[in-house]
Amino acid sequence: MGHKRYGYLPKSKIWREIVNSLGGYSLGRTEISEIAKSTLRQLQSQYSNLKNDPSINAGFEFLVQVSLAFQKNNPIKYLTEKRILDKEELSLIRLAKGVTKYKNDEVASHEYQTFAKQAAIDALNNWYKANIERGTNLFSEGIDTTAIFRKTARADGFCELSRLYFSKITERYLKYFLEREASSKISNVNERERFSNEITKQIDDISKHAFETAKITESFSAGWFNNHVKEKEPTDIELKNFLGVSFGKMKSELLREEAK
């Protein structure tokens, strides 16, 4: 399956501009540029390994199970049988708890596991907020949580949810590698701490950059959903192949950016 090109990060700053906006330090343009490039290179390298990590697989598989559940007449029963819910009661908080326990023993790296679980929780939270009716919020009474999550049972809903997962993993790694690369370039402890504080202030730009990078996966996700998730559970190999192709597409997107 091919993919539609959406253009080059159309709604966010490119990575070099984001790093430049963290300026005001004793670093010259060359150092800032190198921090930006090195961060992307580290993430590109990481993408090659993510598809093989059991925690990354488990985080994505959890979201697949949510989509499968809401294709059924009794999604809450399905989620309980899969031990995603600890009892037959659905809420966003209970699903988030389910993420923290899902295949918790299958871990190769505790760092990867932390990123993967938090990315899945963030994806659920962001997706839920985006799909509640206008004029309501997470604390409004009478929200039909089941009706909201039934949207994940469609190809378009699944694509949005999986894109959020990929973007949140990318966001966390961009911030992680940015801080690491900056630390190697900034010797002054106070400047390094100030740089870290500035990263926190610029997290919206980093988040938007990650979200736009993840857009490249959407059309592929739709086709994969129709072939492998619609009314059936994908095999472990099918899940791993999907992650491999998706992370490969995102890696290519970042390689194009580095070349700009």
pLDDT tens over the chain, length 260 residues: 333 333 444 456 778 778 877 765 555 555 777 888 888 888 888 888 888 899 999 999 999 999 999 999 999 999 999 999 998 999 999 999 999 999 988 888 888 899 999 999 999 999 998 888 654 554 555 678 898 999 999 999 999 999 999 999 999 998 888 888 887 777 777 877 777 788 887 888 889 989 999 999 988 999 999 999 988 899 999 999 999 999 999 988 888 776 66
227 falls within a domain? yes
pTM: 0.86
Q: For 2-34, give one letter per residue: b (16+ CB within 10 A) or e.
A: eeeeeeebeebbbbbebbeebeebebeeeebeb
Q: How many structural domains does the chain have? A: 1
**Whole-Å CA distances, 195 to 18, 188, 192, 198:** 13, 11, 5, 5
Q: How far apart are CA 73 and CA 205, in angstroms?
A: 40
**Residue range(s) defining the domain that contains residue 39:** 34-258
127 located within any domain: yes
Nearest Cα residue to 225 out of 63, 13, 37: 63
Rounded to 10 degrees, what is the CA torsion of 141, 145, 146, 149? 150
Quick check: 54 and 114 in contact, CB under 8 A? no
Predicted local distance difference test score (pLDDT) of residue 7: 40
CA angle, 121 then 180 then 52, to 5° = 50
Residue 235: inside a domain, yes or no? yes
Instruction: Tell me, yes or no, whether 250 lies in a domain.
Output: yes
User: Residue 10: CB partners within 8 Å, gap ≥ 6?
Assistant: 212
Q: Is residue 29 part of a domain?
A: no
The reply to whether 14 falls in a domain is no
Would you say residue 104 lies in a domain? yes
Question: Residue 29: what pLDDT?
Answer: 57
Whether 21 is covered by a domain: the verdict is: no
157: Cβ contacts below 8 Å, ≥ 6 apart: 67, 127, 131, 151
Please give the Cα distance from 163 to 130 (Å, whole number): 13
Q: For 25, which DSSP code?
A: S
pLDDT score recorded for residue 12: 63
CA distance 248 to 250: 5
